[in-house]
Structures are given as structure tokens and as C-alpha cells.
Amino acid sequence: MTKEKMGSQKLWGGRFGEGTAASVEAFTASIHYDCRLYQYDIAGSKAHAAMLAANGVLSREELQAITEGLTAIEAEISAGTFQFRRELEDIHMNIEKALVERIGPAGAKLHSGRSRNDQIALDFKLYLRDQCDEVGSRLREIRRAFVLLARKYQGRIMPGYTHLQRAQPVLIAHHMLAYYEMFGRDLDRIIDCRKRLNLSPLGSAALAGTGLPIDREQVAETLGFAGVTANSMDSCGDRDFAIEFTSCCMMIQLHLSRLSEELVLWSSQEFDFVSISDQFCTGSSIMPQKKNPDIPELIRGKSGRVVGSLITLITVMKGLPLTYNRDLQEDKEPVFDAVDTVTACLAIMAELLGNLSFKTDRMFAATQKGCMTATDLADYLVLKNVPFRDAHGIVGRAVAYCLERGCELAELNLSELQGFSEVIGKDVFEVLSVEGSVNSRISKGGTGEERVEEALLAAEKQLGIG
């Protein structure tokens, strides 16, 4: 048997007497999805090679051949002409083998002082660092859409809900800025996640570090990392960064889903608060009159996949002994899917919001039913020295009276109102109007117009609008 036949064609084939079974190659390969990491793999290899040359492990000529070879391979992959080979398992092996075939022995020196275990951790971190930036800019985009809506409808009133029951009148702008805050926290989390993942694992090698003369800091610096990880064993088995990132995605998707739910409700004939542009709706194949809010529905539905991705990752990690285990190859697909889903949903939602119009008359009209200023009446009594619990009871009786008559609190006359409490005076009618109600709520973070205007100006300033 020739040496070639015995060892199979694998880069790790030396100790093997037989080639890998085709079924095993098919089962273990990840190249069909980790090919997505090629640019990061190549950037990492170039930085590693430059460091090896600086430390005398590679000659200048070898470094040049490696660098040029990797550049050519990258161009081929980008152009779609590179032949990925499943029997080479993953992106690392495909690129390394192509390099060796292209430049010969120098290529075979590239893997000195590293392992695929630190290499994949590096690639994945580089990829996720970029994705943090991508998701971050989509978050800025959607926040901007909320601020534009808030400005457009500033001063217009809608019902605010608890338990999906009309509760108290609020400004539309206040409602929009609630989402601005939610997506702001998402942005903070992504920025924080990026900070924590931005340490290079390369040079941790298989698990224990290496005896070869390497300079981990140099590689880290070349690749724009803030520093290097502290423990080689931790570095080869750590996927906290992937879990953290996917958890950020999950939270974003939850926020998108809540927003979607509101848009579905608001665009129903029952609410009829918004009109979603025709461009962002679809029709029914059987009911000619239908205009369906498919985009928010799909976004709401896609929450399942993002939450699922997070659960997948957590489950993969649970119970793994240190350090690298092949289980870790299962970490990439859920993350890729979460990235694709969240970025697509953020982008389309921002577009939809830019084409959304509120039916402000309908929204205001909805505030005129349901005794929405009942709390204001109770607060009025409190200011007249009635204990809040007593005030609550008094107003409750007034509401029951209105319900019986099918009228609103603001429609009662003074003597009817005084029948519930003699401290009520003429000035009560100010607090019974929804405008009066909204504008009284000037506590910090409240819906009073001046407070909302402050919040809006701050948001515009933060985003550089206006």
C-alpha cells in the first residue's frame, strides 16, 4: 500500500490506515455552512502568517507566498469559482488544502502554532464582531423611524392600554418613543456584547497553548482586537460570546414581535388606527376585499426561530467538558439563522414604519369612550385631600353610573358629579378632558406633551436629526 493510500488525503490523515467512510464525511462536514466564514478565516491566517514570519517560523519568501496564495483563494471564493470539497470537512481545511496545492511546502507551514480549535473560535468572533456592527446599524435605523413618526404625530392623542383595555390617554409620540427606548437597550446590549467578545483566542492552539515562538498580541492587534484571551483552555471551549450575541438577537426579535402584534391589531377593522402602505401588505387568493398585514405577522412568527436558535445553542453547550468538543460545530447554523432573521426583520420593519400612517382622528375618537380620565378624577380628589383609596371608590361609583347611562364622565354635569363627592368643583372639567389628562402627566418619563417634547428633542439630538 502506498503511503498516500494508507493515510487518506486528509490533512490529519497521517495516523489513519484507511480513508474515511463516505457516510462519515457527509455526516461530519460543515463546509456547506461554515464557508460563510471564509473572509475571516483568511484574514486570521494572514495575520497568523505575518506573526510567524516576524518570529522566525516562516521566511519572508514563505510569508509572501502564503499571503499571495490566500489573496488568490479569497478572490476565487468571492467570485464563486472556488471548488469547495466536502471531504475536506470545513472552511479551514478547504482553504489550507487549496493553499498547499497552490504554493507547495510553504502552505504546509501555515498551521504552525495554532489548531482548528482556536482558529474556529477566532473566525467566529471576527464574524460576530462584524455582525454586531451590522445589527447595530439596523437598530439605529429603526430607532430613527420611531423618532420620525413621533415627530410627525407629536401632540396627537391615542388611547393607552393595559390588559389591552383602554386605560389612560397618551401621546402617539410617547408610544413611539417607548419602542425607541426598547431598541436603545438592544443597541446597548449589542455594543456591550461586542466589547466582551473582542479578545483574540488565536494562539491558544489545541487547548494548552504552544511551545513555538508566537506573539498573540501581534495577531490580536492586526485583527483589531482589544487584546488576547487569558486562558487557552477557556478560549478553545468558550462560546459565551455566541450565546450572548444570540440572546441579544432574541431580545430584538421579541421587541419586533410585540411591535408587530400592535401593528396587526391596529390595522384590523376593529381598531382601524393605522394604515400600512399597500406596498407592505398582501392580498388573499380567495377573498378579493382582503389586505393582510403579512409583514408584521411574519416577523412575529419568526420570533420562533430566533428563540429556537438561542435554545439550540444553550443546549449544545450544556454539559460540555472543557475544552473543544465536536459538538461545538453545531454552534454556527443557529447563529447564522438568528443573524439573517434579525437583520432582515429590522430592515423591513424600518421600511414599513417609514410608510405607516396613523389615523389620528380614529385614535382620538377612541379616547372619548371608556371613561379614560377616571384616574384623573381620582387624582383630582386626592389634591382636594380625599385619601386615594376613598377617591378610587368614589370614581368607581361614578363610572358605574356612567356605564348604566351609556355616557362618559366628562358628560356628567356638576351636580351629578357632586352627588359622588361634595369636594368636586367647577374646575373638575379640566381634568376630565383627555387633553387635560395627557398634559397633567408631567412626571419624569410621563406622557405630558412637554415631557415628550424633551424626550423627542433628546432622541433627535442623539440621532443627529433636525
Binding site for ligand ARG (CB under 6 A): 30, 34, 90, 116-117, 120, 324, 326, 328-329
Handedness of CA 458, 460, 463, 464 (dihedral sign): negative
For residue 409 the three cell numbers come to 364622565
What is the Rg, in whole angstroms, of the alpha carbon atoms belonging to the chain? 31
> In the 8-state DSSP scheme, what is residue 21?
P
| CB 174 within 8 Å of CB 149 | no
Cα–Cα distance between 350 and 81 in angstroms, integer?
Answer: 35
Question: Are residues 381 and 391 in contact, defined by beta-carbon separation less than 8 angstroms?
Answer: yes
CA separation for the pair 263, 258 (Å, rounded): 9
Q: Are 345 and 256 in contact (CB under 8 A)?
A: yes
Which residues does 230 contact at the CB level (< 8 Å), separation at least 6?
A: none
- Asked if residues 334 and 314 have their Cβ atoms less than 8 Å apart, the reply is no
Least separation, in Å, of the C-beta of 212 and ligand ARG?
Answer: 18
- The answer to whether 163 is a known catalytic residue is yes
Question: Measured from the CB atom, is 90 or 141 closer to ligand ARG?
Answer: 90
Report the C-alpha gap between 100 and 98 in whole angstroms: 6
Q: How many DSSP H helices and E strands does the chain contain?
A: 21, 6
Q: Which of 125, 291, 253 is nearest to 196 (CA)?
A: 125
Strands 199-200 and 157-162: unpaired
Backbone angles phi, psi at 302, to 5 degrees: -70, -10
Calculate the alpha carbon distances from 321 to 229, 273, 453 in Å: 19, 54, 54
**At a CB cut-off of 8 Å and minimum separation 6, what does 453 contact?**
154
Cβ atoms 284, 290 nearer than 8 A: yes
Selected catalytic residue, list 23, 163, 285, 443: 163
Nearer Cβ to ligand ARG (328/366): 328
The nearest distance, CB 24 to ligand ARG, in angstroms, is 13
Helix (H) or strand (E) holding 274: strand 274-276
Q: Among residues 59, 78, 268, 284, which one is catalytic?
A: 284
Instruction: Give the residue among 43, 38, 176, 49 at the shortest CA–CA distance from 111.
Output: 49
Whole-angstrom Cα distance, residue 387 to residue 390? 5
Query: Angle formed by the axes of helices 172-197 and 116-152, to 10°?
Result: 160
Residues with catalytic roles: 163, 284
